Structure 1
């Protein structure tokens, strides 16, 4: 072992063999080989050899490292980068607290099926297991929340491990993987042999099977016979880039479409066939439709509890067709009458091609008329123009002023209002759905903006959520990202307060954020970020427009009605049809 530098960079290389490089340089070469152009991270002792290689790679001009202010922010930024581009996101963290700070971001990506390659530094090999300074078993800690993980104990494994990591992260149902690299592995010279992307199938990995033509034919038979069909679309359609085929099928058979929180953007919500989001805070007409349908076609969705409400009442009178890439999801929460297992892009394409060989006679007119009646009778609230600003009207203004923006959100009431009122294109909606991670929005937005510097990126935040990772304003300022952050500020942990009001007899325990809340505009200014506060309705549209059109980063603090609740709402333990807060 030697501490010499790479022959590609700085230092004395007189004793090196011609083809030998350091483990850290081999890592960077492997990332370059897999098309990585951006890394989000934070350095530390155990990962210093890798950061020395990052320095040389940045000097060579092929990669950009984004210095976040907290490792959790780095994981969320890589997540936003991945969701908005469809590429694998990459983040770095050092050993011990650096690695454990990544855990929430890894779990967020796992729950929402986002492809990440997370690389952590580790103490040197001889020190592993000795409780060395900043040692944690990040491999063991993250086992339940990654698709796969490695501890690299020999530098000669680096190229093959990275090839496997990218393959697993992006294949089938996407997800995060972890690569833990001891410090001395990065410092060791060896004969590096690159491994081409996709050339190495990991042992024990089963690629998605081809869709069964018989199952596809049975699924189409059910669609053609159904009188009250409903397409229930999840994030898998976006991961598979299958939205165009989905649209063609829905239009061909006149099928109404509802989406999950993760599925927003998979189907144009301005289309008459859209019934918006379903579930706990879904539209009334989506929840009535799923309750009354006679055929539920689940596509890349997993029947999670926030969608189904009381499971035994969810689409209780419907046959179920389930299109899914992950066999573990089939029959997990709801037994399917027909299961079509395989890559959704292929499955939906096969379904569409088969439909072209049949005579199409849509018979959903009465069903669509019923849904239209529900839309008229139970619309989303359009708030009055009296008193304090309603949070919903802020979202309506954003929808009108920035219809094509990439939207990230934090978690809470503002997230649900955004999901209800905004209409998004594929990959333009980026929100922590499965884990519900407060603090996700700002770092995710900076990740999207780094990936797509010419696009409009807006983070919808809450005054409580934003404080979880507000330090990333420093990152946004450092790189002068054109990101706009809009705080829906009601001085509460709004969703928790709503539950305390509804189910805990208005005992508001530890949810009032007014005392100790910072001056957000002054705080943004302290980071070098512009800011504006909006408290009056008559200036809402004008100030929002001016701020959104301004150059550079901007924080917009909009003070809204304190006690406004997010409706409709399906109370816990109730069926989707038993919503509260419906219009009179």
Structure 2
């Protein structure tokens, strides 16, 4: 018999004290998550992890972590990824044994390749069933999921005894949150989850153990300060790992009037209207950013918080990877990709730039106020050109009123129509190319900053880049920040892969606007084949009414065939609604996306 929170009565009529069930291993695990302030556990339930859901039921009644049920385990991992990027807190995802665990792998691999901390819990049949073909057995004697996760996690272990839980959980979480960050995995058999805990409450304070480190190489910072002080024409490259430090980085740029560019995943950390901004360098980037780095008068390129992968380095371009480069990063893996740099500065980026600003500010107060007049004048001259870059759409004949929406125009309109509090996620494929190149949102204040560890107003995935990542990611983002709308820019191919997660936004009452670029094609495949002169094959998709599909799942939906249809929407009402809205946008399928960097790399590496 199950009791609620009211007091039961004995036969004598006296109130019977409410007795909490003894703490088991599943309960201890959830108690640790509650200690960390975890709000949601994303996943899909199953028999092998039922004790975790029992513990979540008890936790949610007291205001602790609660379950968010995804429609597919990969979607659950994408949600945890989006939640972490938005809040900077740990995303937690769980799945049952066997196919539940293998379904997680794409989402976990994406988090691993993008350095997103995540705690992954999977179930196993009870230990006595190992080696006996238990249902969905995924131990070393079955479909070895622990072995599979070894390749896409920073820590990976089977908990085979109740007394192991605390030690392995702490080791896993420390690996998740220390550089190199990423997902960690614990696989816990059913009988272990049900076993009584050997302690009555968590033995350790995880908040203290996981406090961020502020280590830095002071000698390298001193060298950088001298280089930046002496440089006549420095340029700053801001990467996606600068979220925590972006305010300090921009203070240094503004103090020295250093023009800056961003990587594609760093664009969302800055105001595109900032007078020192020169655009995006890398995939789907801007000519102004490329020109800023190629300028022969540039004597220092300061790259900060960037992995130097294909997309963030513009296909390993020599305009960035040269002897003018100084690379600042927390990750030794990132620094290892720039052996040509004249200086590496290793350490927490926030600490580096706080120290750097203090040193440069001291110098500035003892320097003539006219010392940087030439630099300021040059900055002012370039600003007008950059304004034109941001807001001038591609030249061409005027479009008739009934013309299909051009994706470049759509990005411009999304930035114009939605409020300054909007978060945008751009999915893999042409969606991210159009957003990186053309999207420029409103800002409530010119100096608005992001404070999350891997956030900003535009979220992308740079390395593993699975289709449909943004769909689940948008749900996790909205759960992490329910006060502003979230716009998910995705393609029709991605929606066909992972569109079922829209149902979670319905169930949770989340203000997510799914903007579907509907061109009846796998767009990047189609345009990539054309640009490469390859056979035109295997890209076409059948005509699909995504608005009807969204309504069937319980969402609001609008079909957009022209720019007039988009402008006729009541955006204020859409943003005020506690529930998702899908915009099925029939885009011009012939407008060529800005994917030249990708095409160049594909061609040169053959």
| TM surpasses 0.5 | yes
- Measured against aligned partners, the alpha-carbon deviations of 1:435-491 in whole angstroms (never above 9, x if no partner) come to 111111121111111222221111111111111111112211222222111112222
Residue in 1 that maps onto 2:309: 304
Distance 2:30 2:128 in 1: 24
Contact 1:209 1:341 survives alignment (8 Å):
no
TM-score, scaled relative to structure 2: 0.85
Residue in 2 that maps onto 1:416: 433
Distance 1:179 1:266 in 2: 33
Residue in 2 that maps onto 1:538: 564
Contact 2:412 2:440 survives alignment (8 Å):
no
Residue in 2 that maps onto 1:14: none
Residue in 2 that maps onto 1:469: 498
Residue in 2 that maps onto 1:582: none
Residue in 2 that maps onto 1:315: 320
Distance 2:126 2:102 in 1: 18
- Measured against aligned partners, the alpha-carbon deviations of 1:84-131 in whole angstroms (never above 9, x if no partner) come to 111111111111110111111111111222111111111222333555
Map 1:55-454 → 2, pairs under 5 A:
55-136=57-138, 137-192=144-199, 193-198=201-206, 210-238=215-243, 241-292=244-295, 293-309=298-314, 311=316, 313-315=318-320, 318-359=323-364, 361-362=371-372, 364-365=375-376, 368=379, 371-372=382-383, 375=386, 382-383=393-394, 385-386=398-399, 387-402=403-418, 403-423=420-440, 426=450, 427=455, 428-454=457-483
Distance 2:44 2:315 in 1: 43
Q: Which secondary structure does the structure 2 equivalent of 1:242 belong to? A: helix
Contact 1:257 1:267 survives alignment (8 Å):
no
Distance 1:316 1:407 in 2: 30
Q: Which secondary structure does the structure 2 equivalent of 1:306 belong to? A: coil
Distance 1:330 1:5 in 2: 56
Distance 1:280 1:408 in 2: 16
Deviation at 1:68, TM superposition (A): 0.8
- Aligned-pair RMSD on alpha carbons? 3.0
Q: Which secondary structure does the structure 2 equivalent of 1:47 belong to? A: helix
Distance 2:348 2:131 in 1: 41
Residue in 1 that maps onto 2:549: 523
Segment drifting more, 353-362 vs 485-494: 353-362
Deviation at 1:66, TM superposition (A): 0.8
Deviation at 1:290, TM superposition (A): 1.9
Contact 1:330 1:336 survives alignment (8 Å):
no
Distance 1:324 1:19 in 2: 47
Q: Which secondary structure does the structure 2 equivalent of 1:118 belong to? A: strand
Distance 1:53 1:310 in 2: 48
Contact 1:246 1:267 survives alignment (8 Å):
no
TM-score, scaled relative to structure 1: 0.88
- The yes-or-no answer on 1:548 pairing with 2:574 is yes
Q: Taking structure 1 as reference, are residues 317 and 71 closer, same or farther at Cα in structure 2, changes over 3 Å only?
A: closer
